Each structure stands twice: as C-alpha cells, then as structure tokens.
Chain A
Amino acid sequence: MANVLVLAEQSRGRLRKPSLAPLTAGRELARRTGGALTALVMGHGAGSAAEELAAHGVTVQLADAPVLEHPLAEAHAAALAEVATASAATWIVAPATAYGKDVVPRAAVALGAAMATDVLALAGEGSEVLLRRPMWAGNVLAEVELATPVKAFTVRPTEFAAAAQAPGGSVVPVAVHVDPARVRARFVALHEVKSERPELGDARVVVAGGRGTKGDFGPITALADDLGAAVGASRAAVDAGWVPNDWQVGQTGKVVAPDLYVAAGISGAIQHVAGMKGSRVIVAINKDADAPVFQIADYGLVADLFQAVPELRSKIAGG
C-alpha cells in the first residue's frame, strides 16, 4: 500500500497546466503500487484552482491559508510535508516547474525522502518502480530507484500526457499548521517579463529562416513569437542583409542547442548544421525535397514555408 500525493501548482486561483502531467504520472504510479491517489493544491483563495483540478477526476486536498498565499518554499514545503504525512503518502509527485523544483526538495528532506528530478517516464516492473530521468544534460538516461521509505519526484511536464477531464473528483479542505513566524522569506514582487524574445544562446525553441524566405522574415518572427522562441538565420540571409549578424546560427555564428529548432527555407549547409545539430528536435521546412537539411531533420516537411508556417501557427493557436 503506497499512497500517492500529487502536488499541483496554482497561480492566482488558476490551475497551472503543467500540473496535469504529474497527475497522469501519479495515476500510473498508484495503479502499480495499489495505493490511493490524492492531489494537493496550496495557496490562499485557491479554491477555484482546486475545483479545476478536481474536474479531472481526482480527490484534491486544498490547503488554503494566508501563510500560503505566495509560493514561498518555507511555507509550502512545510505544508506539503505535513499533508504527505497525514495522507500516509509514500510517493510525492510534482511538476518540474520552478515551483516544484523549489518546494519539493525542501519537503523531501523533512520527510527523509530521496528525490528524483525531471522524470521522463516510469520504468521497472509492477510495484518496483524505477524512474527514468536525464543526466549529464540529457546525454545519458538513468533509471533510478529511490531507496527511502518516502519518495519524491518531479516530472517533465511535456513527457506525460496532460490528464483528461473526468468525473469522480472532489475538493477536500485540509488544515495545515504552518507557523508564519517560521516563514522568514518575504515576497516582494513578481515581475512578469514581457514576452521579449529569448537570447538565441539559451532559448528553448529557435525558429530560423534562410534563403527560402527571400527576405521576408515575417512568417519566421511570427512563428517565433507564437512559440516564445528566439529567431535565427542562415548565413545566406545575413549576408543578403535581410537580418542582423547576431541572428546567424552556424559554426561562425552562434552554436545553439535548443529543445526544438525549426529551419524554414534553409538548405542545410554544413556550416549551418554545425551550429544547430545539438538541438533535441530538428524540423525542416523546405520546398526542395533534396535539400541536405532533410538528412539531419527529425521531421522534414517538403513545402513552401509561406504556406506551411501560417498553417503551423494556426495549429499552435488551437486550430
């Protein structure tokens, strides 16, 4: 019997989407261990977030208290540990968001729990659960066992399907006894950064254009903005004066390794490829089916970027 407690994240009363991934992971886990599954939402005035989560068919413990208004680790970790103990939870699962990564380790140490970060999948057999997670910047995948009585892990939100809505859920208020005097950090402000484009060097997504744009980078920058991505370019585009020098991706420009690299209208000369081959996923869109870029692309689409990119944008927008 190994109960599972899923930590969800809310912001201003709204459930944050990444929370649905640990719910999926938690369900799979509970199925394998035979334990009961509940979720936890913490905050102040977070009831609506708890309802939102409960609409996915899970019992949601709601810890609502002024001390939990801001996601301060001292408060949330203490509350999480208290609820986990009260729930006889053996497993704590949370999203690997800034919140999850900040709070869960502190709770884990209070529970003497070993913890695995950024889990990609559950492995092992039956109730012997191993966790698959990246190490050495993703160059190695590890299957780890957590050898303490209580165990904790965060999941990479993109790796587990978001749990679907389902009946049968409910919200159960729970009291937590977090002493405000022992929460010494003070929230000062949250500055929401305008979605300014990220730096090419450390963007998670890069959209790059080349000769195929014929000088019109409109579709490229629009797609980048949709994805919160950085914009890159091939040397041809830079040399033609269509875009600034520091947009150049390549061995003599910038070397990037984002999660996703979209090369639109780029033929894929070695110099350019050298600058992006470390990307986790490479998408190429090019009219020329024989363009060398298709050899390295994980997904290649032979199409006119002026048609394909707008179409992709509408798919992203939810079309």
Chain B
Amino acid sequence: MAARLFKGAEYLITEATKDDVFVPERFTEEQRQIADTAEQFAVSEARPAEALLERHEPGVAAALMRKAGDAGLLMIDAPEEYGGLALDKATSMLAAEKLSSAGSFSVSYAAHTGIGTLPLVYYGTPAQKEKYLPKLVSGEWAAAYCLTEPDAGSDAMGGKATATLSPDGKHYLIEGTKQFITNGSFASLFTVFAKVDRKHFTAFLVERDFPGVTVGPEEKKLGIRGSSTTSVIFENARVPVENVLGEIGKGHKIAFNVLNVGRFKLGAAVTGAAKHALGAGAAYANARRQFGVSIGKFGAIREKVADLTAEIFAAESLIYRLAGLIDDRIATLPKGGDGYYDAYQQGIEEYAIECAIAKVFCSEVLADVVDEVVQIHGGYGFIQEYPAEKYYRDERINRIFEGTNEINRLLVTGTILRRALKGDLPLQREAMKAMEALMTPSLDELDPSIPFAAEKATLANLKSAFLALSGAAVQRFMEKLKDEQEVLLALSDVAIQIFAIESAVLRAEKISGDLHDAARADVAAAVKAHTFAGVEKVATAARRAAFYVAEGDTLAVLLAGVRRFTKYDASGLLEAKRRLADATLERERYPF
C-alpha cells in the first residue's frame, strides 16, 4: 500500500516520493509464481504453435485458449463467483508482460481476457455472467470485441451498425459489419456495439451461433500474423433481448471504460516484448564479429543497447507504478455488493490519463527497441531467419489499436483540462504558481545527500514547465483549446515524459537500498540515461508548445522558462551508458 492515494494526473502537481510507488521488485511470491506459469505457458505451449498459428491452422488457437484456461491464466480479472480469481492489476499486468513471449497468442490472450471478457464482468447481469463467464474463464469459449467498423475507428461512436427490436419484442436484429476483430475466426462470444433506433449506442452479447452472424476471412497482415483478425458481418442477426449488456444507450460507457484496462495491459505486454527484443539484439551483438571483434564492443552499438535498456527500465517502472495506483484505489472499495463494479471502474477511470500515458509511452519504447534491434542485426535484421524482422513487424500495430497514439495523447491533456474545468484538479492555481516560478530566478543548490537530487530537482522544474505552458495555452485559447490538437499533443508529450522519468527515478530510489553496489550503479546509470533522453524530449515538446501558444513577450518568457526548467546535469553520461550496455550485453538480456 502506498503512503497516500494520488488522484489521476496529480503527479503533475504534487511531489511523489518512493513510498508512493509500487515497484516490480516488491512482487509477492505468488505473483512471481504466476509470472513463472505465464512464462512457462508462453514458451512451452504458445511459442511452439506459432508456425501453425501463422498458417491459421484451424483449432490451434482455440486449443491454446483452453490450455491457458486450464492453467488458470484466464481467471486473473474474473470474479470468484464465476470461476475467476479476482487478482490485482499488478498481477494482471505481470501475466500480460510474461505472456508477450507467446508471440501471436499473446494478442489473442489480451483480446480475450481484456476487451473480450471485461464488458461482461463489469456490466453483465448475474444471469448473463452465469451463462457465459465460466466458459470464458475456462477457455472453452473464446471472446471477441466488435466495436470498430470499416468507417468507424477512432470515431467509434460514428459506427453504423444498427439494432432493431423485433415486433414481438423478444429479439434485437443487428445489422452491420465489424472490422479488424481479433479472435474473429474462433471466438464464440462477441461483445457487439450497435445503435438502437439509429442513435442509442448499446452493447450486446452475441453468440457465434446466433442466426445471421457470419465471420469473414482472415486478413493478411503486416504483423502479428498468427492472431486471428477478421470482419464479422451481422445480417438480421437475432440476439435475445436478455443479451443487451448494460443499459440501452450507455454502450459508450462500456467501450471507454474497458479501453482503460486494455491500455495499461498493452503497456505491460509491449514492455515484455521489448525486453525479449533487446535480448535478441544483445545476443547478436555479442555473436557478430567484424574487424576482428564482436560488434558489442563498439560504441555505436553499445550506445543503442544502453539507450534501449534505459527506456525499458522507465516503461517497466511506469506500468507497475500505475498498477499500484489502481490497486491501492480499488483496495479501498468495499468488496461485493451491487455497485462494486461501477465503483471499480470509476477507480480505474480515475487513472484514465495514466493509462493513456502507459499505452503511448510503452508502445513507443517498443517501437524504438525493435527498430534499433533490426539495425543492430545489420543486413540480417532484414532476413526472416533472424528474429529481428518479426519483432519489427509485430510491433507496428501497438501504436494503432487500443486507440491510436494520437487519440491517446489527445486524451491525456484533454482529460487533464476537463478535470481542471470541473474543479477536480487545481490546474489554474498551480499554473499561476508555475508562471511565477518561471519569472523568479532560483539559486537553490542541490542537496547531494538526497538520492537522485539532480533528477528530482529537474522533475519539479519539468512539472512547472508543463503547468506554465498549460496555463498559457488555456489563457490563449480558452474553451477552444480542445480543438487545437497540435497544442494538446505537444503538452501531452511533456506530461508523458514527466510521468515516465518520475516513475524511473522513484523506483530507483526505492530499490537502491536493497541492491549490492554493482546493481545499484546499473540502476543509477539507467536513470541517468533515461532522464537525459526524457528531458531532451520534454524540452523539444515544450518549446514547440511555447511557439504554438504564445508570441512576443509571453513567448520570450516561456522560452526562457523552458530553457531554465529543462536543465539537467547528466555529467558522467557516457560512462553510465557504457556501464548500462555492459550490464545488458553480459547477460544477453534486459538486466533488471
């Protein structure tokens, strides 16, 4: 349990301490065992089936889902009354992370346990849960989520699928086409969104065998080729009225709430994938010899390995910090009772901003990692015999689905501003304080007795930069700010990096005491390398935001402030990176 409960986005305003963060080093024995099981399943059951999955061999994915069910891997987020284990989000993320080595099956798993099952868990009636949940938890049935349509992606609510009540009032007839449905070819239960009377966005539980349901052929994809992606066509599909999920017209609540969970799980899964890709890159760097020496000895390669290791450290710190935030908040809810899942989701919704951050930051870390791992492999990175090209292709979708990274970025700042407007976040007050700080020279000396003093001082300044810029943006655009996407995107970049840097720093501080000297130095090196890179990104985005929102004197003040507030003394950076590269290359895997 953290020392105190932070609100969503409160990290931008309040200084967090190491006692406020959950770190992976503190997993319980059970969590570690579950992680082992997930990993063993991925390696011994899922990975060997990859070739068959890529050929879409019938029955293989379904069989894997059942085996995952047997292992209990589908029970994590499901309630105990229906065969689940109702475990915490840290465990859920950990399983997602470890299953990432399952290749394509990890996507099927994520879709099934996340968007496929959670709508039912959160919104199902006891009768609906009774009927369907045990089958989903055992893996006997696979689940799929049908929201996207050919003409409705980011604009999910713009979907055209309709649901018309039959004359006898016993069925809804669903008409429409859903696209890019994961698990389409073998799912037995679809959560389908359609508009009742062409306007009330509603969710329905649709069984594969209901009349009028047709599954299209497998899409030929750039990546994650072993996962099933199909269209699902509903032609007067007959769905009993008992299968309306939640309330008519409230389907958007379901869609948005479940997406939060999908986002943080994706953050965990891509972090796991990044670790594996890094390991492959390190192994190749050690094995490949040029100019008489293994290329892992060359600075050009070591720098990449170091940078990637540092980024993954930050991604990992970020997702488990988020897990801690969510778990601590949910722990305060009284168990059971009618309103439990409502309150549960609100608990998660509180951190919608951090969930979006997790999705964006971690997926972009993976993108960096797979790109550089291909590069490390040189020409062989282009050849299918080596693992690099598959990592590269499989990565791409993560920046697109579960809400594109653009949508998620807009959500970050958009939600912050909305909450500020509602009075949930004292943004205006803090922005004014930040503006003052901007204009007041400070001569604070760093206190070297504080661990990571330089990083913490910089973080405080970065937050001020964000607040000052946000304040300036609000002042300039007022309520039209929500339409100035370029500004929102720039501000989001700042907010995202701050959360990542802070998560890494606080984790490092928390765990350093337990580490022996060499490991402690490795962690410090990761923090230095990542903080440097992150601060540079903040500076760029902040300058961009300043130019977008201000002119003349205001601009000059903002730019000067950005310059001051993005100072970070990264002395010893080269040594730190070399040390970090060694840590990874020696082990041929992510070292933390």
Contact = CB atoms under 8 A, between A and B. Distances in A.
A271 to B, nearest CB: 5
| Residue picked from A274, A277, A295, most chain B C-beta under 10 Å | A274
Interface string B271-311: 00000000000011001110000000000000000000000
A250 B383 CA distance: 14
B392 to A, nearest CB: 15
Interface residues of B, number: 9
A235 interface: yes
Interface in A245-294: 250-252, 270-271, 273-274, 277
Given A270-B380, A274-B283, A251 B289 contact: no
B385 A271 contact: yes
Nearest to A295: B289
Nearest to A253: B385
Contacts of A277: 287
A295 B294 CA distance: 12
Chain B interface secondary structure, helix, strand, loop or mixed?
A: mixed
Contacts of B176: none
B210 interface: no
A273 B287 contact: yes
Nearest to A271: B385
A252 B385 CA distance: 7
A201 to B, nearest CB: 13
Contacts, number: 20
A271 B289 contact: no
B287 A270 contact: yes
Contacts of B284: 270
B477 interface: no
| Residue picked from B283, B380, B386, most chain A C-beta under 10 Å | B386
Contact of B386 (A271, A273, A295): A271
B249 interface: no
Interface in A211-255: 235, 250-252
A295 B287 CA distance: 11
B387 A251 contact: yes
Nearest to A236: B385
Nearest to B289: A295
Contacts of A273: 287
Contacts of A270: 284, 287-288, 380, 386
A252 B283 CA distance: 13
Contact of A252 (B287, B289, B380, B387): B387
A252 B383 CA distance: 12
In the A-B complex, the 9 residue pairs with the closest CB atoms: A270-B287, A271-B385, A235-B385, A270-B288, A271-B386, A274-B287, A252-B385, A273-B287, A270-B284
5 contacts: A252-B385, A271-B380, A274-B283, A274-B287, A277-B287
Interface of A: 235, 250-252, 270-271, 273-274, 277, 295
Given A270-B284, A270-B288, 18 more contacts: A235-B385, A250-B385, A251-B386, A251-B387, A252-B385, A252-B386, A252-B387, A270-B287, A270-B380, A270-B386, A271-B380, A271-B385, A271-B386, A273-B287, A274-B283, A274-B287, A277-B287, A295-B289
